[in-house]
């Protein structure tokens, strides 16, 4: 399947994620199905090497109304969806 584009950025494949010990994954319902996404789901993935940080990010994500299906994975996730990958150091959720 051809990778989807959002604005001018391509969605990364799991092989392109930086190697991390934990991946906090969620579905972003705000952007999922938007016209510029070709009706694809929008998955948000945050990588971290610190389990406590992963737990904190999971807790905060569950409190955000637009984030659904929040979980922590130890393997790089592979989705048939647009994936927005971020490193935990880029996230300032409190």
Tens of pLDDT along 33-79?
555 445 567 888 999 999 999 999 999 999 999 899 999 999 988 87
- Domain chopping of the chain, boundaries: 20-90
Interatomic CA distance for residues 21 and 14, integer angstroms: 14
Q: Quickly tell me which residue has 């494949």 as its tokens.
A: 13
Reported pTM? 0.76
Q: Considering the chain, what is the average pLDDT of its residues?
A: 79
Short-list 75, 84, 80, CA closest to 26: 84
Q: Output the pLDDT for position 1.
A: 35
In the structure encoding, which two tokens stand for residue 67, read together? 């984030």
């Amino acid at each position: 399947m051809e990778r989807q584009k959002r604005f001018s950025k391509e969605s990364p494949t799991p092989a392109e994620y930086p190697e991390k010990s934990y991946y906090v994954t969620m579905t972003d319902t705000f952007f999922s199905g938007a016209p510029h996404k070709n009706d694809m789901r929008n998955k948000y993935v945050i990588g971290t090497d610190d389990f406590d940080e992963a737990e904190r990010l999971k807790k905060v994500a569950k409190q955000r109304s637009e984030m659904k299906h929040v979980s922590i994975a130890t393997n790089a996730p592979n989705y048939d969806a647009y994936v927005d990958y971020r490193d935990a150091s880029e996230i300032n959720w409190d």
